[in-house]
């Protein structure tokens, strides 16, 4: 065995050695030096004992293990159930465009929406890119995906919102609906919200589970007067640390209760995510700047917000339209 050198790489530790005159380096999971030295030996043996690159299943498992304890790990386990049936036995260098198109065709015949297939193949790309960055593979193939569907236009009017709130007979469902509408948050963020992140003194809600994340679609948002009253009432009756609870226990899903409320309100094609879209549309229609809406939605940049919601703003392209009014004469 050649000399293995433990070094630093991207804030962590790495192992490096020379093979046929070429330097090989690999990212290590261990942060402790002694643990890194032991892991380095295993890594070297794994890298030099097998002439074949790992399969997609191997890489997927490594990625999930690397993200263990984070929400993305659970997401990838779920997505992998379908992706790995088709790609699992393949190595990265065996994946071709036809293979990806075949997968999209199979999922389409199974009644899976193009947006879901777009996401699944995107997760495959994520795993392969991670594998290349961690030097598990040398090349990431091109992964063609079906065209991403245009954003859905379904959102609720004020009258529909009133009907939905009135129809929500269960207090925790009504509070969850009001929270989603008032914060523009995803349902997951609302169900994970704890009272220690509801600041009545500053009138703010911190939708993040911690200062470091998760950050997708999560922000620190103000509490409006109507929501404040509802939260104060809920806090007095609270039996747990969670804002949305049932019988003193946190709730993982509100699918059944939400669907029952929507049905009772006579609303079709309404899911919890429609409420997030509804909040953004109403802000845009009120002329709220895209930069503020972007912050409220927890978007990584304003361009995402503008692409979906700028068209709802009353001033969107208004100046441009005025310039093109050729009926006006000097």
Measured CA to CA, the distance from residue 195 to residue 305 in angstroms comes to 29
pLDDT recorded at residue 10: 82
Question: Which portions of the chain are predicted below pLDDT 70?
Answer: 1, 49-52, 150-152, 210-217, 330
Sequence-ordered strand ranges (E) for 118-235: 198-199, 204-206, 220-222
pLDDT recorded at residue 150: 67
pTM of the model: 0.61
Residue 25 pairs with which residues in a beta bridge?
16
177 within 8 A of 259, measured Cβ to Cβ = no
List the structure tokens of 82: 């379908």
Q: Residue 108 has what DSSP assignment? A: H
Domain ranges of the chain: 5-49, 56-133, 158-312
What's the CATH fold of domain 158-312?
Answer: hpI Integrase; Chain A (1.10.443)
pLDDT recorded at residue 41: 82
Measured CA to CA, the distance from residue 268 to residue 259 in angstroms comes to 10
Number of residues in the chain: 330
Q: What is the CA radius of gyration of the chain?
A: 25
280 within 8 A of 286, measured Cβ to Cβ = no
pLDDT recorded at residue 177: 97
Q: What are residue 192's phi and psi, to 5 degrees?
A: -90, -5
pLDDT recorded at residue 50: 52
């Amino acid at each position: 065995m050649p000399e293995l050198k433990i070094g630093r790489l991207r804030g962590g530790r790495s192992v490096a050695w020379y093979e046929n005159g070429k330097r090989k380096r690999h990212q290590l999971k261990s942060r402790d030096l002694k643990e890194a030295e032991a892991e380095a030996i295993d890594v070297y043996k794994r890298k030099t004992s097998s002439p074949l690159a790992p399969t997609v299943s191997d890489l997927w498992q490594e990625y999930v293990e690397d993200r263990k304890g984070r929400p993305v790990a659970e997401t990838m386990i779920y997505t992998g159930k379908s992706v790995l049936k088709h790609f699992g036995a393949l190595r990265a260098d065996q994946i071709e465009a036809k293979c990806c198109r075949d997968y999209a065709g199979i999922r389409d015949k199974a009644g899976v929406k193009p947006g879901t297939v777009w996401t699944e193949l995107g997760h495959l790309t994520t795993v392969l890119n991670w594998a290349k960055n961690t030097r598990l593979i040398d090349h990431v193939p091109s992964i063609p995906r079906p065209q991403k569907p245009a954003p859905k236009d379904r959102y609720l009017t004020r009258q529909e919102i009133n009907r939905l709130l009135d129809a929500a007979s269960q207090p925790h469902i009504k509070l969850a609906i009001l929270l989603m509408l008032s914060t523009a948050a995803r349902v997951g963020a609302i169900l994970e919200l704890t009272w220690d992140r509801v600041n009545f003194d500053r009138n703010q809600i911190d939708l993040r589970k911690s200062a470091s994340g998760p950050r997708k679609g999560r922000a620190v948002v103000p509490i409006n007067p109507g929501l404040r009253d509802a939260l104060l009432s809920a806090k007095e009756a609270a039996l747990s640390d969670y804002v949305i609870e049932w019988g003193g226990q946190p709730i993982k899903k509100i699918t059944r209760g939400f669907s029952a409320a929507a049905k009772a309100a006579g609303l079709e094609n309404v899911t919890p995510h429609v409420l997030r879209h509804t909040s953004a549309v109403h802000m845009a229609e009120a002329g709220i700047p895209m930069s503020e809406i972007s912050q409220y939605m927890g978007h990584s940049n304003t361009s995402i917000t503008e692409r979906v919601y700028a068209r709802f703003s009353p001033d969107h392209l208004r100046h441009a339209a005025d310039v093109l009014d050729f009926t006006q004469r000097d």
